[in-house]
Structure 1
Amino acid sequence: MTTVGRERGARRRRGTGAGLLLTAVLTAGLAAGCTTSDGPRDDGRGTARESPAQPGDQDGPPVLAVKIDNAPAARPQTGLDTADVVYTEQVEGGSSRLIAVYATALPESAGPVRSARESDLELLRQFDRPLLAFSGAQSKLNPLIEQAPLEAVTPQSEPDAYTRDPGRSAPHNLYLRPGRLMDDPPGEAALTTGFRFGEPPADGEPRGDLTVRYPAARFTFTWSGAQDRWLVSMDGAPALTREGERLAPATVVVQYVTVRPSGFRDFLGNNTPYTETVGSGEATVLRDGRAWEADWKRPAAEDGTSFTTDSGEPMNFARGQVWVVYAEAP
């Protein structure tokens, strides 16, 4: 750990008892509620909350969000199976990137780590001052990152927290070591996503698989009754951990959103898509081998995202990892 990191960690421990190494303290964003209740197949990711979290409830350490490479050369990734939430988003050329969010457990390593995008800042506003680990960003985006209510963790700000895998070629070989940033995970209270966990609604259609297509990428989720999980495939191939196990969330949310051009382009001149995660729209929720058509709503960036069934009933998720796939609304 760096000397600066130790000093900042000591200050935060005195203030919150959290044991975080922080590199900057930026303007705080309000966070909205996460309601959980006891449900089937609890996988030990945390205890259920009795009531919704409200803005300002999150007084402890923040979540850790890591931008993860999803190019074929980056697979298999490291640490995705430990994340509480995995977000998928469209980037330049119609390909995809992932954001892994950690609250109840930390992996030994996470990556490969890649660069941030403008829409990440809006997405992560639902968490209270999250740590965002990324490899860098284009220079025009840096001022927006500096103004955002988050903690930027890059190889430049925390070099001891990153390592290169000599067995992989750049840029697919940069990995974060979360233990160099946080002594312990912040806990389930930091997951101010608005998600509810509990028993499923009474309806729902039996569903064996679902595929979401981006212009240059696709995700398929196949139900495994033996594992009580949705097995992930990417671009037609099984998505695996470094140990060869299948990635298998308990709940998959396909959230239909507006994807529009941003004011940024990559070095090849391709426009960077902006995924709008504030607003409302439709979604498909997969759990327990069934599918529900749902509505999502996120009134403001500081709010979490709520999901309701067509009948207006709150949509509970299965306990365990959640994947949120942002798909372009038709």
Structure 2
Amino acid sequence: MPRRFLTLWLVALLALCATLVTPVTAQIDDQELASLQRQIADLEGQVGELTAQIEAKTAAIDEREASLAQAEIERELLVDDYTIAIEARSRPARLSQTAAINSFILGDPRTEAFLDEITRLETDDRLSSRRQLFDAVIDDALTNLGAAEEELRRVAGVVSDAEAAFAEAEADVTRLGGERAELLEERAGLIRQQRDLRLRIDWLTSLDNRWVLTGRAGWDGAARPALAVKIDNVDAARPQSGINQADLVFEEKIEDGRSRLVAVFHSTPSDPVGPIRSVRTSDPKILQNLGEPLLAHSGGNPGARSALFQSPVINASVNVAPTLYWRNRSRRAPNNLYTNTTSLWSLDLGGTEPAPYFRFRAPGDPLPAGAQEVGVVTVSFGKSVVEYSWTGAGWARRQNGSAHVDVDGIQVAPETVIVQFIGYSPSPADLASPEADVIGQGPAWILTAGHIIEGTWARVTGDAPTIYYDAEGEILKIESGRTWVALPQIDSASSFRLRS
């Protein structure tokens, strides 16, 4: 498994754990919020302490580096002194050597004559003075040579001490740098913990009087489950009823390269809704992370029905409530079966409220750095090809070249579109029918606020939420409102064109 997807898998698992330890509710858990705020405050204190230590280390490093700079200057001056001392030693040495060479090796005539004259006239005061002068020059050269050698030894010792002090200072800088790096890493970890806690707070506060699937205010206290409805999407089934009232719509691939819709209602009813078609084995997998939702459908083959019965999704088909379904005689079967959401909710078939499915962006929150303005996004299911373009308020949808409108003539234009690329396998209920592989991870495009964000998705188990990430691995927040999630084949001919 690629490291990037493994990381996303682990983050998604942590997100799942967070959902499991908190009851699903549309109200804020004040105790948990207070606990999270205390944890953040504690972390801020620790971050502050680490910051002070980091600043102290930085000051110490700056001090050592300043002393190193001064030591470097002093070392250069000592090198100059050392050079001067060597030169000072060499002058008397050369003089002494020159005198000896001239006298005893080269046979300088003047020196020999001088010495011969001394031998003959030992009592000559002038010659004696000259000999004394010569001896004095030699003695002075030897004296200067000794002094120069002493100075050379002294300067060499100072240079050695300076080199040792310089090496010690360099070692201090390296050690302090390592200690500072450890503190920086520790502080970064605490900051990440704060970020995660704030994400948790965002998640909790999003429940405050807001509908969990849209993020919109106005929750009326209703404790009803989500209601999913299978809606046909072939040419003969359009225009449909209810598709603009659904909080969340999944578009899945079926046989022959066509698509079918799974419209999820929670905040807004739709009376009527349809045309309604059969359940597929993909549907329980897609829906089971919405708590225990109801599923309205027209029936299905034995394998598909068995998959539904074995899942937490509650059957609300025409066979369960035949009086709540009817045929619209102005349309031809099988594209004429309808129901209404209010009646199905009134059956009290059980179920639980959906857990929050998305994280919503607050007004003014910036988009991720990788967001790009996009013109047209094309999603291909094969024979069914969909285009989305930003209108300034939503993503206007076209299907096979025509505007996709509902029965009232209103074009579909959800606030957010997610293109979640997945794999498909032959359904065990019908090998000719593809089954969506929605547990795992893969690439995704998130269309929000006129931009496209190329990211990824991850879902670790059937009950776990699907988490969407940007290119940096940060959990994405979307616009509040309705969302359509397209589920094309991962190798489909989908594309987008950036806005010029």
Q: Normalising to structure 2: TM-score of the pair?
A: 0.52
One-letter amino acid of the counterpart of residue 308, structure 1:
Y
Alignment of 1:218 onto 2:385: yes
Q: CA-to-partner distance for each residue in 1:157-210, whole Å, 9 max, x for gaps?
A: 10121111111000000011112122599xxx9343531111352421010110
One-letter amino acid of the counterpart of residue 215, structure 1:
G
State how far apart, in whole Å, the 2-side matches of 1:106 and 1:256 are.
Answer: 29
Correspondence for 1:283: 444
From 446, 470, 483, give the equivalent of 1:322.
Answer: 483
Q: CA-to-partner distance for each residue in 1:116-163, whole Å, 9 max, x for gaps?
A: 100111111102211000001012332222222121111121012111
Equivalent residue runs for 1:181-330 within 5 Å? 181-183=344-346, 190-192=353-355, 194-198=357-361, 199-203=365-369, 204-225=371-392, 228-265=393-430, 271-330=432-491
- Please give the secondary structure, in 2, of the residue aligned with 1:169: coil
Structure with bigger helix share is 2
Correspondence for 1:7: none
Kept in 2, the 8 Å contact 1:195–1:317? The answer is yes
Correspondence for 2:290: 127
Query: More relative contact order in 1 or in 2 (CA 8 Å, sep 6+)?
Result: 1
Question: CA offset at residue 83 of structure 1?
Answer: 0.4
Q: Unmatched 5+ residue regions in structure 1?
A: 1-32, 50-58
Correspondence for 2:316: 153
Correspondence for 1:85: 248
State how far apart, in whole Å, the 1-side matches of 2:235 and 2:203 are.
Answer: 36
Change in 2 beyond 3 A, CA 1:310/1:234: same
Question: Over alpha carbons, which structure has the higher Rg?
Answer: 2
CA RMSD after TM alignment: 2.6
Q: CA-to-partner distance for each residue in 1:103-124, whole Å, 9 max, x for gaps?
A: 1111111110000100111111
Equivalent residue runs for 1:13-24 within 5 Å? none
In the comparison of the two structures, how many residue pairs are matched? 277
State how far apart, in whole Å, the 2-side matches of 1:286 and 1:160 are.
Answer: 40
Change in 2 beyond 3 A, CA 1:144/1:202: closer
State how far apart, in whole Å, the 1-side matches of 2:304 and 2:287 are.
Answer: 16
State how far apart, in whole Å, the 2-side matches of 1:36 and 1:222 are.
Answer: 32
Give identity over the alignment, percent. Answer: 32
- Please give the secondary structure, in 2, of the residue aligned with 1:296: strand
Kept in 1, the 8 Å contact 2:372–2:451? The answer is yes
Correspondence for 1:170: 333
State how far apart, in whole Å, the 1-side matches of 2:282 and 2:265 are.
Answer: 19
Correspondence for 2:27: none
State how far apart, in whole Å, the 2-side matches of 1:288 and 1:152 are.
Answer: 36
State how far apart, in whole Å, the 2-side matches of 1:194 and 1:46 are.
Answer: 10
Q: CA-to-partner distance for each residue in 1:81-112, whole Å, 9 max, x for gaps?
A: 00010000000111110000011111111110
State how far apart, in whole Å, the 1-side matches of 2:341 and 2:286 are.
Answer: 21
Structure with bigger strand share is 1
Q: Unmatched 5+ residue regions in structure 2?
A: 1-199, 492-500
